[in-house]
A = this chain, B = another copy of it.
C-alpha cells in the first residue's frame, strides 16, 4: 500500500470525479447539438452519403483489426506466465498466492489494454460521428446566424475534446488507484491499447483521406477543370468522408493517445521518485494538473461564441479567447498547488516549460507554413520557374523547419536538466514527463479546435453540393478558413507532444528495465540505469541504425499506399465522367464506388504496418538484447521526429503557397504558376496528412511494446543465449524472403 495523507487520497477521488464530469459535460453538449435543425432534404441527402461512407469505413476497419486485438490481448495475459510477477505486485496483493497475483496482473494488463483500445476507438468513432452530426447542423444554422453556426461547430468539436480528456484521465486514475505501486504493468497495457488503436485510425484515416483528396483533385480540379466539391465528381463524397476519418477520427485518437501516454509515463516515472523519496506527491501532482486542465477546458470552451445575431464575426478570436481563459485558469491553479501542496516549484516549472513549448512550436509552425511569412512566400515565388523549383523550395523549407523544431525539443530536455540540476537522472526524466503533462493539459481546447476544422470544412461542402445561398455560404467559408488555421496549430502540438511523450517513455524504459533486472537478480552495477545505453557498444549502435530506419520504411509504405489508391480513383472517376448526362449534371455519379476504393485501400496496409511496429522491437531486443533495444528506441524517436516535422511542414507550406497564388499572386488561379502550386500541394498532401502524423503513434507503439516485452527479453537473454543465433538466422531468412519476393513480383 502506498502511503499518502488524507488530502492525497481525497484528491485522487476528486480527480476521478472530474474525469466523470468531463464526460458528462460531453454528453450534455451532445444533447444541445442533437436538437438543432438538420436543414433541407437536399442537405440531408448529402449528409447521409457522408455518414454512410464514414460508418462503412469504421465498420470495416473494426473487422480488420479485431483479430489482431484479440491475439494481442491473449498474448498480454499470457506474458505473465513467462515472467514472474514483480515484487511490487506481490506486495500490493499481499495475502494472495503468487499464482493468484499472476492472474490478477495478467488480467489487469489485458483488460487495461482493451480499455485503452476501446477508449481510443470511442474518442475517434464517437468524435467523428459527432462531427458528422454537427456539420449538417452548422450548414443549417448558417442560414440564420453566424453566432449559432460557430457555436454548433465548436461545441461539436468540444465533445470530442472532453471525451479525450475524460477517458484518458479516467483510465489512468482508476488503474493507479487499484494497482498502486504495481500500476506500471497495467498502465503499459492501457497505453499500448490506446496507441495501437490510434496507429490504426491514423494510418487508415490518413490513407483514406489523402487518397480521396489527391484523387479528387487530380481528376477534378486539374484534369477536368471543375471546382472542388463539384457534385459531378464521383470522388467528392469520399473526399468529405475522408476529412472526417482523417482529420477528425485520426487526429482525435492520436491526441488521446498522447494524452494517456503522458499520464502513463508520468505515473511510471513518478513511481520511481516515490521509491526514492517515499512521497506520493510525485504521482498526485500530474493527476491534479490534468484534473485542473479538464475543468479549465470546460470553462474556456464554453465561452467560445460570437455576438448574437451577428452576420460575420471573428471566429478565431472567439476561439483564442476561450483558449487563453483556460490557460490562465490553469496557471493560477498550478501555482497554488506548487506552493501549498508540493512545497516546491520545480514540478511547476516543468509543467510551465510544457506550456511554453506548445507556444514556441506553434510559432515555428506558423512561421514555416503561413502565407504571411518568408518561407511560403519564397515557395510561391519559385512557381515562376515551374513545379520542380517549387517542390525544391518546399523540400528546403521542410528540411529547415524540422531542424528548428528538434532544437526546441533539445532545449526542452536541457531545461529539465537545469531544473533538476544535481539530482539523479530519474528526476530529469520526471521533469520531461511533467513537460508532456503540461503541454497537453489543455487537450480539451486543442481537440475542440482541431475537430472544428473538418466540421466547418464539411459544412461548407454540404453548402456547395446542396446549392445553398450566398450569404450562408460566406459564413461557412469564413469558418472553414479559421478551421484550417486551428487544424494546423493542433497538428504542431500533436507532433511536439508526441516526441516529448516518447522521450518520457524512453525514460520509463530505463527505469523499468533496471527494476526488472534487479528483481531477476542482476547486480546493481550491471543494471541499465547504472550502465546506461551506450551507443559506443557496436550492438547498441546497430540498434540505433535499425531504429532510425523504421520511420523511413513506414513513411515509404504509407506514401505509396496513397499514391496507388489515388491512381485507382483517378481511373474510376475518369470512367464515370464518360457516363452520358453526367457532365451536364443530369445524372448523379456513383459515389459509393470511390468510397469503396478508399475504404479498401485504407485497410490494406494496416495489419502489415502494425505487425512491423510490434515485431521489430521484439526481434531487435531478442537478438541484440535490452541495451541495444534502447539504442533502437532512440533511433526511432530521433529519426521519427525529424521526418514527421519535415513532412508536416513541407506539406503545410506547399498548401499555403497554393493558397497564396489562388489569392491572386503570381498569376492567380488557372495560371501556369497555379498549376505548379497544385503539384506541390498534391505532393504535400500525403506527407502532411498521412505519413507524417502516422509517425506519432508509431513512435509510441514501438516504445510501449519495448517496455512490455523488456522483462521477457531480459529473461530470454539470461537463460538462452544460444537461441539468439537461431533468431538471427530466422530474421535473415525472413528479410531475404521479402527481398526475393519483391524481385520476383516485378
Contact = CB atoms under 8 A, between A and B. Distances in A.
Interface of A: 214, 218, 222, 367, 373-374, 377, 382, 384-389, 391-393, 395-397, 399-400, 402-404, 406-407, 409-410, 413-414, 416-417, 425, 428-429, 432, 503, 506, 510, 528-529, 531-539, 541-542, 544-546, 548-550, 552-553, 555-557, 559-560, 562-563, 566-567, 570, 630-631, 634-635, 638-639, 641-642, 646, 678-679, 682-683, 686-687, 735, 739, 742-743, 745-746
Contact of A214 (B388, B553, B562, B638): B388
Contacts of A416: 538
A397 B552 CA distance: 10
Nearest to A420: B538
Contacts of A528: 536
A53 B78 CA distance: 72
Contacts of A384: 567
Nearest to A391: B683
A679 B676 CA distance: 10
A569 to B, nearest CB: 9
Shortest beta-carbon contacts, A-B, top 10: A532-B534, A388-B682, A399-B556, A400-B556, A396-B560, A374-B746, A392-B563, A533-B536, A532-B536, A403-B553
A638 B535 CA distance: 11
Contacts of A414: 538-539, 542
A536 B425 contact: yes
Nearest to A389: B563
A435 to B, nearest CB: 12
Nearest to A746: B374
B533 A563 contact: no
Contacts of A413: 538, 541-542, 545
B538 A417 contact: yes
A412 to B, nearest CB: 9
Contacts of A549: 402-403, 406-407, 642
Contact of A218 (B388, B404, B634): B388
17 contacts: A214-B388, A218-B386, A222-B386, A373-B746, A374-B742, A388-B682, A389-B566, A392-B559, A395-B559, A396-B559, A402-B549, A406-B548, A413-B541, A414-B539, A417-B542, A529-B536, A535-B631
A731 to B, nearest CB: 10
Contacts of A634: 535, 541, 544
A159 B420 CA distance: 60
Nearest to A539: B417
Contacts of A560: 392-393, 396
Given A399-B559, A407-B735, A639-B639, 10 more contacts: A392-B559, A392-B682, A392-B683, A396-B556, A399-B553, A410-B545, A535-B544, A541-B634, A548-B642, A638-B638
A572 to B, nearest CB: 12
Contact of A403 (B373, B387, B556): B556
Contacts of A391: 391, 679, 683
Contact of A533 (B534, B570, B687): B534
A382 B686 CA distance: 15
**Most chain B beta-carbon neighbours within 10 Å: one of A400, A528, A735:** A400
Nearest to A529: B536
Contacts of A631: 535
A646 B552 contact: yes
A538 B642 contact: no
Nearest to A556: B399
Nearest to A217: B388
B548 A638 contact: yes
Given A218-B385, A538-B428, A563-B396, A638 B406 contact: no
B545 A409 contact: yes
Contacts of A683: 388, 391-392, 395
Nearest to A431: B538
A553 B553 CA distance: 22
A416 B639 CA distance: 25
Contacts of A403: 549-550, 552-553, 556
B746 A555 contact: no
A742 B678 CA distance: 27
A474 to B, nearest CB: 31
Contacts of A397: 556
A395 B550 CA distance: 15
A587 to B, nearest CB: 25
Contacts of A678: 388
A262 B563 CA distance: 42
A542 B679 contact: no
Contacts of A745: 374
Contacts of A396: 555-557, 559-560, 563
B367 A542 contact: no
Contacts of A550: 403
Contacts of A506: 541
A377 B218 contact: no
A430 to B, nearest CB: 12
A456 to B, nearest CB: 26
A745 B375 CA distance: 11
Nearest to A399: B556
Nearest to A402: B552
B425 A537 contact: yes
Nearest to A418: B728
Given A407-B549, A549-B406, A563-B393, A386 B679 contact: yes
Nearest to A742: B374
A406 B546 contact: yes
Contacts of A682: 386, 388-389, 392
